[in-house]
Structure 1
Amino acid sequence: MRLSRPARGLLAAITAVVLALIYLPLLVVFVNSFSTSQNLTWPPPGFTLEWWAKAFQSEGALDAVLTSLQVALASTAIALVLGTLISIGLQRFEFFGRDAISLLVILPIALPGIVTGIALNNAFRTGLGVQLSILTLIIAHATFCIVTVFNNVIARLRRLGTSLEDASSDLGAGIWTTFRLVTFPQLRSALFAGGLLAFALSFDEIIVTTFTAGSGVKTLPLWILDNLFRPNQAPVVNVIAVVLVLVSILPIYFAQRIAGAEKIVR
């Protein structure tokens, strides 16, 4: 499809405006993390590395980073296992209700976070009688992390077909051997990309976390929310926010690089 020159100019202008609305606020946060002002005045009266030093010396912030890493890694591991098994079961086997199950697997990522959070909170505390803790938080994050892994793996399985797996079975290989030597090597990049996206999704999640974390559990987004309006904490919060943005960008960047490299190879 060819666009006229005015149409291309209009499209470019709209794109520039949208990108500016998204990234200029992030740029302001980045610049303010070096500001000498404690009140986030703009433009900054000067620049300093004091807040970066204080941020990396803050026990509360460091503990929150560690908690976020633990939750993100654990929920990603669960999502990789369950998302892979579900995608193989739905793609490779036909049974009654397969489409309904596929919809139910994808639904958590489409629901508003506050609905998911309230539902899980009621399920843990009222339905199961379980006290909220880091374990309930990991389970809650895994519910939506599974979707990213599932989408990546099932898309790859649809492109691969079953010819190589059928050939492996015809040669006498069992289900586990076929998966280990044939299926898994072809899924590794999809699993890696899905795992990176799941990690990024879990690391900066706040709405579901608010409803499913125990009173003593403080992830990095919760720490930022608690300290945002405290006196003299705003510059440190800006530093942590910049770190959070970087941690969220890197997995998505590498996932896109993997997908791009595969398109070139194919």
Structure 2
Amino acid sequence: MRLSRLSRSVLGVITVLILAVIYLPLGVVFINSFSTSQSLSWPPPGFTLEWWGKAFQSAGALDAVLTSLQLAVVATVVSLVLGTLISLALQRFEFFGRDAVSLLVILPIALPGIITGIALNNFFRTILGVPLSIWTVVIAHATFCIVTVFNNVIARLRRLGTNFEDASADLGAGIWTTFRLVTFPQLRSALFAGGLLAFALSFDEIIVTTFTAGSGVTTLPIFILNNMFRPNQAPIVSVIAVVLVLVSIVPIYIAQRIAGAERTER
């Protein structure tokens, strides 16, 4: 399809505006992390590296990062296992109510976070009678992280078909051997993409976390929200935000390389 010069110009302007809306606020946060101001004021009255040193020495920030990492890793592992099993069951087997089960699996990602948070809070405290802790947060995060793994894996299974698995079974391989040597190698990139997205969703989730975390659980998003407008803490929050943006580039780069390698192989 060929576009006229006017159409290309209009699309170019729209693209620049969209990118500006996305990245200019990130640029402001980056500049504020070097500001001498104790609050998020603009323009910065001066520049300093003081806040970067304090951010890496802040016990509260480091504890919040560690808590978020632990929570996201556990929630991602749970999601990878359950999401893969559910997708295999729904795609490879036929049973009564399969479509209903598929809908119920996907539904949590479509529900507003505040509804999910309130429902799980009542479930844990009223029905089960268990205290809120980091484990209740893990369970809460897994409810929507499973969806990301499920969608990636079941889409890959639909494209693969069952020819290779049938051939493996005809040659005498059992279910586990077929999964280990035939199915799993073809699902690795889908599992990586789903796990990456699940980790990202869990790491920065705040609404469901607020309703399901106990008083002693402080994740990084909760720490940022609690300290964003406090004197001497706002610049530290900006530093943390910049570091998270820089760290996020690494898995995105790895995912792109894997996707590029798969396209080259095909």
The verdict on a shared fold, with TM-score over 0.5 as the criterion, is yes
| Deviation for aligned residue 1:256 | 3.4
| Deviation for aligned residue 1:10 | 1.3
| Deviation for aligned residue 1:261 | 2.6
Question: Hey, what's the Cα distance between the residues in 2 that align with 1:259 and 1:233?
Answer: 40
| Deviation for aligned residue 1:253 | 3.8
Point out where structure 1 has 5 or more consecutive residues left out of the alignment. none
How many residue pairs are counted as aligned between the two chains?
A: 266
Question: Hey, what's the Cα distance between the residues in 2 that align with 1:49 and 1:159?
Answer: 51
Whether contact under 8 Å (2:39, 2:230) holds in the other structure is no
Identity of matched residues, %: 82
| Deviation for aligned residue 1:46 | 2.3
Question: Hey, what's the Cα distance between the residues in 2 that align with 1:47 and 1:261?
Answer: 43
1:116-135 map, 5 Å: 116-135=116-135
1:29-40 map, 5 Å: 29-40=29-40
Amino acid at match of 1:109: I
1:19-168 map, 5 Å: 19-168=19-168
Deviates more, 1:69-78 or 1:148-157: 148-157
SS in 1 for 2:56: helix
TM-score (norm 1): 0.95
Q: Is 1:188 aligned with 2:219? A: no
Question: Hey, what's the Cα distance between the residues in 2 that align with 1:253 and 1:222?
Answer: 27
1:102-122 C-alpha deviation (Å, 9 max, x unpaired): 121111112111111111111
1:161-199 C-alpha deviation (Å, 9 max, x unpaired): 111100111111111111111111111121112111111
Question: Hey, what's the Cα distance between the residues in 2 that align with 1:48 and 1:261?
Answer: 42
Deviates more, 1:94-103 or 1:227-236: 94-103
| Deviation for aligned residue 1:205 | 0.9
Whether contact under 8 Å (1:34, 1:47) holds in the other structure is yes
Amino acid at match of 1:260: G
Whether contact under 8 Å (1:197, 1:252) holds in the other structure is no
Amino acid at match of 2:265: V
Gap change, CA 1:207 and 1:248, over 3 Å in 2: farther
Q: What corresponds to 1:206 in structure 2? A: 206
1:48-97 C-alpha deviation (Å, 9 max, x unpaired): 11101100000000000000000000000000100100111111111222
Whether contact under 8 Å (1:79, 1:142) holds in the other structure is yes
TM-score (norm 2): 0.95
SS in 2 for 1:117: helix
Point out where structure 2 has 5 or more consecutive residues left out of the alignment. none
Gap change, CA 1:207 and 1:257, over 3 Å in 2: farther
Question: Hey, what's the Cα distance between the residues in 1 that align with 2:201 and 2:249?
Answer: 11
Kindly report the root-mean-square deviation, in angstroms, between the aligned alpha carbons of the 2 structures.
1.4
